[in-house]
Structure 1
Amino acid sequence: MTHTRTIRLMMASAALLTLAGPAFALDGADMMKKLSAAFEVNGTSVTFDKAEANGDVVTASGVKLQVAAQPGESIKIGDVTFEGVEETDGGGYYAETVSFADVNVSEKEDSVSIKDIAIGGLAIPGNASGGTINDILLYESFGTGPMEVKVKGKDVFKIASIESNLTRRENDAGFDFDGTMNGLYADLSEVEDAKAKDAIEKLGLKQIDGQMTMKGSWELESGNLAVEEYALDFKNIGRLNIAMDFSGYTLQFMKALQEANKAAQANPNKEEANQAMGLAMLGLMQQLTFNSASIRFDDASITKKALDYAGSQQGVTGEQLAQSLKAMVPIMMAQLNVPELQNQVSAAVNAYLDAPKSLTISAEPEKPVPFPMIMGAAMGAPNTIPSVLGVKVTAND
């Protein structure tokens, strides 16, 4: 009797689990459709042949990216595997890791290859048309292994690895982000144009290698977007870093920008679409405020090479060309009618040409300046812009 009751209980439990199982199973197709919806806010869609779920793993096959601006053309992604997948509040999904098949495209002796492409911590929103932080397609990390481009069987461009991170701040206040492109290499020795080839050889640029780095933050409430570092650093050339800081780039601003972009892409009349996009951008820029910006170049021997080469084209030495530039800069700056800036630029150029170390152009007003004020100054009194923005030019600091 007890044995029979136990068997019946086990059968009932099995039946219950069988009935309940589908309710807890992941819907791979639904996840992919919501992934596509998240891409569509930027004018891109995702198509796939099928998406199968096995536990917390979803495998999508035949994945393609379709850009609205290029109808009829798509980018083949192939199979994509989402691991550690779970549903989130609001009908969204979260995947611990997303891995892609290696890219290997070739045509005769030309080829492109990318290995070890992976995304970590992918959050797919349930409602991509919403206006909160949870309605944005986000990732925690992205990276690739080696990337190579070959032309006629020879390496012309390589990247050792790409790494980027997006860190969500407490209480969803914003994000911190950073990225690195390591082992950036280009071979310019096969350039065919005779004049360009001569310049490349004289400047020592037949092979260049270095890296790119980026670091910044985005505060959602104020829309403060600060790019502290966006730098290209090449051996025997130098390091160029661009930094900027402005406010007003809120979620609402981003959404309006996406809608304007979608409307432009949907318009078959491209001239009309570009005009509409331009007007929309002018309107949106009224919401932004300028805080600061800078461009800095740290020389690593390219300046002297450039002066020597440019001088040789004019039949003078690099030193003689440098002296000519020193004399020309004040004359050119005088046409802008900005005496204070003219003196700064002249002093900085003189110091840099005498001993090339660094050259910096910065703009840091005493108080943040609304973009409409900048635009008004540009149209009414362009020569006041340097003082409005607090522009400074320095060298070797």
Structure 2
Amino acid sequence: MTRIRFKGLLLAGAASAALSGPAFAALDGQDLLAKINAAYAAGSGVLKAESIEINGNDVVLKGTTFTATGPQEKSIALGNLTLQDVTEADGGAYHIDRIEFPEVNVTEDNSSFNVKDLYLAGVRVPGSTTGDDLDAMMMYDEAHSGSVEVKVDGKQIVSVQESSITTGVSEDGSSLSFEGGLTGLTVDLSTLEPKTKEAVEALGIPVIEGDISASGSWEPSSGTIDLEDYTLDFANIGSLSMSFALTGYTMDLVKQLQETARTMQADANSEQAQQAAGIAMFGLMQQMSFQSAQISFEDAGITERGLDYAGKQQGSNGEQMAQMVKGMLPILLAQAKLGALQNQVSEAVNAFIDDPKNITITAEPEKEVPFPMILGAAMGAPESLPTLLGVSVTANE
């Protein structure tokens, strides 16, 4: 009987020792906050807390403020933030299951700004920011915002129903993908000055309503950025879609650009320092190369209404204005020095004006083009750019 009790005590002691080991050690709230700020330093902001409490696996940052550093430093009081289900990972990193932010209410003079239902889910805080891969970055699975309202003199000017962006890392950790957007965007243009208000009413858009969506990926090792889609879809206007692919935007370049930005902010009042930093940033950007790009517009009635309005302003009508635009187009294109592309642009624009459906501009060179080569062509021989970048224009396809 004594042996059984002694064996039970040994097992209990072993379990206690295991539970008190590193994997179950009390969370270090100060270390977590320091690593959040280290990861966010590139964003030119600092998160501060009056005190930190640990409740099991939750870390409560009490009396928090976020200060955006720069020429006009400004702090926003966030109140108490609860970082839910915080766990430590290899290399001193942390994983936070969810961070919910209190409702934001900011009033200044006659304007107010309100945001509800803000949260981050699946936040990963790096143990070190010195690496050259995705492990050195703070990331999240989802960033979400509920309703957003902007009011002026008590009248709602801008509102958003909901916005969200999700990210994911590939299985081998080599690339980051993202997808998201906002829904229910409304912009009231009725408060504009009378002449502008008259124009937007004639165009049939006293209120702009629509959605925005985006998706893409980034591979730090090669620096390939692929913005697969960025679409603004507005009722009674149309849908504008863009995409592009670049290379050379590596983690090293990101850090160099961030450091240059910090230098510019530190010497914000020095014109000489700003010019030097601007030149340095321009030089860094030349490490990148262009792969492809496309911009496409699908009309939802705005072109015809625009021609009608412009025609009335000239004492004519929409059909006459369309013919006038088509007649002036060759002159304008000749001044633009588009070379062989001129005829293609003219045909596409004429087809679109006659029957406004869609028009697309595509740039797809046979091989990627370094930015310095593009800059050189733009300055020395602009007419060579369309051929260099493989530009084409189509309509109603």
Q: Which deviates the most, 68-77 or 141-150?
A: 68-77
Aligned position for 2:307: 307
- Are 2:112 and 2:150, in contact at CA under 8 Å, matched by a contact in 1? yes
Against the structure 1 CA distance between its residues 367 and 21, is the aligned structure 2 distance closer, same or farther, given a 3 Å change threshold? closer
Indicate the residue corresponding to 1:87 in structure 2.
Answer: 88
Measure, in 2, the Cα distance between the counterparts of 1:73 and 1:243: 34
Correspondence for 1:297:
297
Structure 1 length-normalised TM: 0.92
> Residue 114 in 1 paired to residue 115 in 2?
yes
Does residue 203 (structure 1) correspond to residue 184 (structure 2)? The answer is no
Structure 2 equivalent of residue 74 of structure 1: 75
Distance in 1 (CA, whole Å) between partners of 2:107 and 2:262 is 33
Show structure 1 runs of 5+ residues with no match: none
Q: Check conservation: 2:71, 2:268, Cα contact below 8 A.
A: no
**1:279: which partner in 2?**
279
Deviates most, 176-185 or 14-23: 14-23
Which position in structure 2 is the counterpart of 1:381? 381
Within-5 A mapping of 1:226-265: 226-265=226-265
CA contact (8 A) 1:42 1:262 kept: no
SS in 1 for 2:337: coil
Distance change >3 Å, CA 321–CA 8, structure 1 → 2: closer
**1:107 deviation in Å?**
5.5
Task: State the match for 2:351 in structure 1.
Answer: 351
Shift of 1:166: 0.6
- Paired residue for 1:149? 150
Alpha-carbon RMSD across the aligned residues, in angstroms, is: 2.5
Q: 1:107 to 1:334 in 2, by over 3 A?
A: closer
Q: Which residue identity lines up with residue 217 of structure 2 in the other structure?
A: S
**Are the equivalent residues in 1 in contact too, given 2:352–2:395 (CA < 8 A)?**
yes
- Contact kept? 1:59, 1:79, Cα under 8 Å: yes
Preserved contact between residue 337 and residue 382 of structure 2 (Cα < 8 Å): no
For 2:228 and 2:22, the matched residues in 1 are separated by: 50
Superposed CA offset, 1:352-393 (max 9, x none): 110101111111111111112111111221111111001111
Question: C-alpha distance in 2, partners of 1:373/1:19?
Answer: 61
Query: Secondary structure at 2:91's aligned position in 1?
Result: coil
Q: What is the deviation of 1:17?
A: 9.3
Instruction: Give aligned-pair identity as a percent.
Output: 42
The amino acid across from 2:334 in the alignment is: A
State how 1:133-212 maps to structure 2 within 5 Å: 133-191=134-192, 193-212=193-212
What's the offset of the Cα at 1:50? 1.5
Q: After TM superposition, give the deviation of residue 268 of structure 1 in Å.
A: 4.2
Work out whether residues 106 and 112 of structure 1, in 8 Å CA contact, stay in contact via their aligned partners in 2: yes
Distance in 2 between residues matched to 1:237 and 1:308, nearest whole Å: 14
2:105 alignment counterpart = 104
What is the deviation of 1:209? Answer: 0.8
Q: Deviations over 1:15-60 (max 9, x none)?
A: 9799879980011121111111111123222222122111111111
CA distance in 1, matches of 2:396, 2:114: 41
Distance of aligned partners of 1:210 and 1:292 in 2 relative to their CA distance in 1, 3 Å threshold: same
Counterpart-to-counterpart distance in 2, 1:319 and 1:306: 11
Checking the alignment, whether the CA contact within 8 Å between 1:29 and 1:50 is kept in structure 2 is no
Structure 2-normalised TM-score? 0.92
Q: Distance in 2 between matches of 1:169 and 1:292?
A: 23
- Aligned-residue offset at 1:8: 9.0
- Cα distance in 2, alignment partners of residues 12 and 300 from structure 1: 73
* CA distance in 2 between partners of 1:258 and 1:108 (Å): 33
| Residues 337 and 145 of structure 1: CA distance in aligned 2, closer, same or farther (over 3 Å) | closer
Equivalents in 1 of 2:336, 2:297: separation in Å?
24
Deviation digits for residues 162-212 of structure 1, max 9, x if unmatched?
A: 110111011111011111201011111122x11111111111111121100
Structure 1 position 362 matched with structure 2 position 362: yes
C-alpha displacement at 1:276, in angstroms? 2.2
Letter in 2 for 1:112: F
Structure 1 residues 94-103 or 58-67, which shifts more?
Answer: 58-67
On the 8 A contact 2:133/2:174 being kept in 1, the answer is: no
- For residues 118-139 of structure 1, give each alpha carbon's deviation from its aligned partner in whole angstroms, at most 9, with x where no partner exists: 1111111121233332111111
Rounded to whole Å, the distance in 2 between the matches of 1:230 and 1:120 is 23
Counterpart in the other structure of 1:45: 46
Instruction: Check the 8 A contact 2:133/2:220 in 1, yes or no.
Output: no
The Cα shift of 1:71 comes to 5.1
Cα distance in 2 for residues equivalent to 1:15 and 1:299: 69
Residues 42, 261 of structure 1: 8 Å contact kept: no
Structure 1 114/274 Cα, relative in aligned 2: closer, same or farther at 3 Å? Answer: same
